[in-house]
C-alpha cells in the first residue's frame, strides 16, 4: 500500500518533508510548498531538493507518488474582484512551476467557492482559469478534490467535478483526488463503497482518481461540514476506511492522511502530536486501536 500523510515543508523544504514522512513509517507524503493559508513562498533550494531525492531513493519513496497541495486561498471560481482572480491564476501557475522544478507530478486543488455568483458561472470561471494555467507544456497533473460542500464550495457533487473535467482542454493533465471525509459530508455513503465506485466509474471514470485523502469525519452523513476526525474515531469508522483503502481497484493510488493532531482542542496547544505514525500502523495491520490517542500522547511525551 502506498500510504503517508501531509507533512510540513519548512526550513529544510522537501528534505524536511521526507524526514518527517520517514518518521511516520510512510512511503509517500503530501506537502504545501509554503503555508497553506498564505501565498508567501521561498525559492526552491536545489541542494535540499537533491538531498531529499537521495533520501527518498534510500527509503523507497517514489517521487511519482508524492503529492503537493495548492493553498486554500486560491479561488478560481469567483471573478467579482478581478485582481484577486488574476492573482489566483498567477499564483497557481507559479505553484505548478515550483512542483515542476522539484519533479512532483501531482498537485491537489480545491475547485473553489462561488461566493455570491451563480454556481454554473463559477464553474465556468474555474474552467477558464485552469485552461489558462494548464498548457501543452505543463508537466504536472492538477487533481480536483471532492469537497464537503461547506458554504458555497464547488465540487461536492460528482456531476460538478465531471463538468469541470470536461471543460479542460488538456484532459490528461487533470484528475481527481477523493477525500473520504468530504465525500461523507457531501452525502456519498462511504459505508457502501462498492456502489460509490460504480457511480464514480459511470459518472467520471476510475482512471481519473490519482490520490485519496483518507480521513474520518467528525460530522454526520451529508452534513456539509468538513471537519476531519482520526481514523476510526468518526462517522465512517475503522472498518469502512479499511474497506476503502484496500479496494483492489485503488491499489496503486497514493493514500494520504489529513487527520487532526492529538491535543488540538486542549487548552495547552503547545503540546500537539501528529497521529500519522500510529494511524499508519493501524491501517497496515488492519487492527483498530481504541487507545490510539493515549498511545500517541505517551509516545511523543517520552521521545
Residues of span 144-163 touching Fe ion by CB under 5 A: 145
**Nearest distance in Å: CB 185, Fe ion:** 11
Single residue of 20, 145, 226, 279 touching Zn ion by CB under 5 A: 226
151 vs 205, beta carbon nearer Zn ion: 151
d(CA 275, CA 260): 7
> Are 211 and 146 within 8 A, CB to CB?
no
Alpha-carbon radius of gyration of the chain: 19
Residues 6+ apart with CB under 8 A from 153: 110, 111, 112, 113, 147
d(CA 228, CA 180): 9
15 vs 234, beta carbon nearer Fe ion: 234
179 vs 185, beta carbon nearer Fe ion: 179
105 vs 213, beta carbon nearer Fe ion: 213
Output the nine-digit C-alpha cell for 282: 493501524
* DSSP per-residue codes, 171-196: GGGEEEEEEHHHHHHHT--GGGHHHH
> Is 216 near Zn ion (CB under 5 A)?
no
Ordered alpha helix ranges (H), 26-81: 46-58
**Nearest distance in Å: CB 151, Zn ion:** 13
Residues of span 127-146 touching Fe ion by CB under 5 A: 145
Single residue of 20, 95, 153, 179 touching Fe ion by CB under 5 A: 179
216 vs 226, beta carbon nearer Zn ion: 226
Q: Which does 226 bind (CB under 5 to 8 A by kind): Zn ion, Fe ion, none?
A: Zn ion
95 vs 216, beta carbon nearer Zn ion: 216
Task: With contacts defined by CB under 5 A, name the span among 164-172, 186-194, 220-228, 271-279 that binds Zn ion.
Answer: 220-228
- Map grid coordinates 504536472 to a residue: 140
> Is 213 near Fe ion (CB under 5 A)?
yes
**Nearest distance in Å: CB 213, Fe ion:** 4
Q: Which does 213 bind (CB under 5 to 8 A by kind): Fe ion, Zn ion, none?
A: Fe ion
- Using DSSP bridges, classify how beta strands 228-229 and 216-217 pair: parallel, antiparallel or unpaired: antiparallel
CA distances, 245 to each of 46, 138, 188, 192, 256 (Å): 34, 30, 16, 13, 10
Output the nine-digit C-alpha cell for 32: 504545501
The contact set with Zn ion (CB under 5 A) reads 226
The contact set with Fe ion (CB under 5 A) reads 145, 179, 213
Amino acid at each position: 500500500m502506498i500510504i503517508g500523510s501531509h507533512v510540513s515543508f519548512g526550513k529544510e523544504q522537501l528534505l524536511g518533508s521526507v524526514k518527517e514522512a520517514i518518521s511516520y513509517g510512510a512511503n509517500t507524503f503530501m506537502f504545501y510548498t509554503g503555508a497553506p493559508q498564505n501565498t508567501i513562498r521561498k525559492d526552491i533550494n536545489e541542494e535540499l531538493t537533491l538531498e531529499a531525492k537521495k533520501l527518498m531513493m534510500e527509503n523507497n519513496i517514489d517521487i511519482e507518488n508524492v503529492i503537493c497541495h495548492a493553498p486554500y486561498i486560491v479561488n478560481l471560481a469567483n471573478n467579482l474582484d478581478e485582481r484577486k482572480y488574476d492573482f489566483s491564476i498567477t499564483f497557481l501557475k507559479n505553484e505548478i512551476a515550483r512542483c515542476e522544478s522539484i519533479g512532483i507530478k501531482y498537485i491537489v486543488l480545491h475547485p473553489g467557492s462561488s461566493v455570491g455568483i451563480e454556481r454554473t458561472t463559477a464553474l465556468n470561471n474555474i474552467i477558464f482559469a485552469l485552461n489558462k494555467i494548464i498548457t501543452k507544456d505543463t508537466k504536472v497533473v492538477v487533481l480536483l478534490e471532492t469537497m464537503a460542500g461547506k458554504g458555497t464550495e464547488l465540487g461536492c457533487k460528482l456531476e460538478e467535478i465531471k463538468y469541470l473535467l470536461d471543460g479542460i482542454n488538456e484532459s490528461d493533465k487533470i484528475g481527481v483526488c477523493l477525500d473520504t471525509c468530504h465525500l461523507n459530508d457531501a452525502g456519498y455513503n462511504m459505508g457502501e463503497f462498492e456502489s460509490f465506485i460504480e457511480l464514480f466509474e459511470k459518472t467520471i471514470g476510475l482512471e481519473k482518481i490519482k490520490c485519496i485523502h483518507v480521513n474520518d469525519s467528525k460530522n454526520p452523513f451529508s452534513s456539509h461540514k468538513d471537519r476531519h476526525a482520526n481514523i476510526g474515531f468518526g462517522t465512517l469508522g475503522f472498518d469502512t476506511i479499511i474497506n476503502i483503502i484496500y479496494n483492489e481497484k485503488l491499489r496503486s493510488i497514493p493514500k494520504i492522511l489529513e487527520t487532526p493532531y492529538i491535543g488540538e482542542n486542549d487548552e495547552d496547544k503547545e503540546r500537539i502530536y501528529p497521529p500519522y505514525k500510529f494511524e499508519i500502523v493501524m491501517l497496515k495491520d488492519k487492527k483498530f486501536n481504541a487507545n490510539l490517542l493515549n498511545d500517541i500522547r505517551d509516545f511523543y511525551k517520552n521521545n
